[in-house]
Amino acid sequence: MNFKGLIKDLKFTHHQRTGIFLLFAIIIVLQTIYFFIDFSLPEKSFPEKEKWMSLQSEIDTMKLIKSKEKPKIYLFNPNFISDYKGYKLGMSVLEIDRLLAFRKENKYVASAKEFQDVTKISDSLLMEISPLFKFPDWIQSKSNFKINKKEFIQKPFFKKEKIVVLDINQASQEDLVKIYGIGEALSLRILNQKSILGCFVSMEQMNEIWGLSPEVINELNTHFKVVIPADLKKISINEASLKELSQFSYFRYTLAKQIVTYRSMNGNINNIEDLSKIKGFPVDKAKIISLYLEF
């Protein structure tokens, strides 16, 4: 093997030796930097996260305290033990059935001993569950329990105040404002409508007054009624002029003109049925209108 040739090939020039030296120097510097300088990023601080973590710590502490607390024991009346309750207490199905059969006879156990006599549970189970028993006072002293009959005497009911029903045509503003839901404005509106009509002939006319709710109308019907005055001046449907007819609240000028035309062509109007045949007549108010007319 020619070692001399190999050694000759491994010889480096001055520039090559300088490059190798710089390479090693760079490697050493980088290794030094790597081992002695911390490149980890600083952890950012999040106030909200810290707040929630602090709250979570409190919750965990409370859970730990609660887990160490002994469960609260509730006393119960053994007369009302259900199937599930009896099962949880360690009673057998037969023992539970004995208690239920005893209760069906409308009887009550008044002590732990009596409970054992009825259910036939073991002494060990009785010792375990009897501290949880709580008997009402009336069961424990049922032998001395007496009913005071005076306590059950029905007291007389207060009689309702009798409602005085007034005539709506004689009602004043003071009478109207006493009704719940009627103030000064509505009371004046009712009185003004009465003045226009001369009088009311039906309580149904309250539905025609703007602003009265169904509840208020119901109250008005409870406290008032209609008494038609004997001196009510009725409109003579066969003799009244066009002007007189058009001034009537339930007739407009067009309808009044139709009535006059009907009279001239067909003669007298004999009843409300004849009048309702005229075009434009408010048939739904025929009964009320008829009380203002004279045929």
Answer for the pair 290, 283: CB distance below 8 angstroms, yes or no: no
Q: Which two tokens stand for residue 86?
A: 């009896």
Q: Are strands 166-167 and 293-294 parallel, antiparallel or unpaired?
A: unpaired
Q: Which two tokens stand for residue 59?
A: 């919750």
Where are the chain's structural domains?
78-141, 166-225, 235-294
* pLDDT per residue as tens digits for the range 109-140: 888 888 899 999 998 888 888 888 887 765 55
Angstrom CA distances, 236 to 38, 182, 239, 271, stand at 116, 35, 5, 12
Mean pLDDT for the stretch of residues 178-199: 93
Cα separation, 270 vs 234, whole angstroms: 15
Q: Which two tokens stand for residue 38?
A: 């911390």
Q: Any idea which fold 235-294 has?
A: DNA polymerase; domain 1 (1.10.150)
Half-sphere exposure of 20 (CA within 13 A, CB side): 6
* pLDDT per residue as tens digits for the range 279-290: 889 999 999 999
pLDDT at 82: 82
Q: Which of 40-44, 99-103, 112-116, 165-169 has the lowest mean pLDDT?
A: 40-44
Burial of residue 167 (number of CB atoms within 10 Å: 0-12, 13-18, 19+)? middle
* pLDDT per residue as tens digits for the range 224-280: 999 999 999 999 999 999 999 999 989 989 999 999 999 999 999 999 999 999 988
pLDDT at 45 over 90: no
pLDDT at 130: 86
* pLDDT per residue as tens digits for the range 61-92: 777 776 666 556 678 788 888 888 888 888 88
How does residue 146 score in pLDDT terms, banded at 50, 70 and 90?
very low
Calculate Rg over the CA atoms of the chain: 52
State the amino acid at position 74 in one-letter form. Y
Helix (H, G, I), strand (E, B) or coil at 75: coil
Do 235-294 and 166-225 fall under one CATH topology?
yes
pLDDT at 107: 84
Cα separation, 245 vs 151, whole angstroms: 71
Distance of CA 222 to the CA centre of its chain: 30
* pLDDT per residue as tens digits for the range 1-18: 555 555 555 566 777 778
pLDDT at 281: 92
The angle at the Cα of 149, spanning 143 to 151, to the nearest 5 degrees, equals 110
What pTM did the predictor assign? 0.46
pLDDT at 138: 57
Q: What is the mean pLDDT of the chain?
A: 82
Q: What CATH code would you report for 166-225?
A: 1.10.150.320
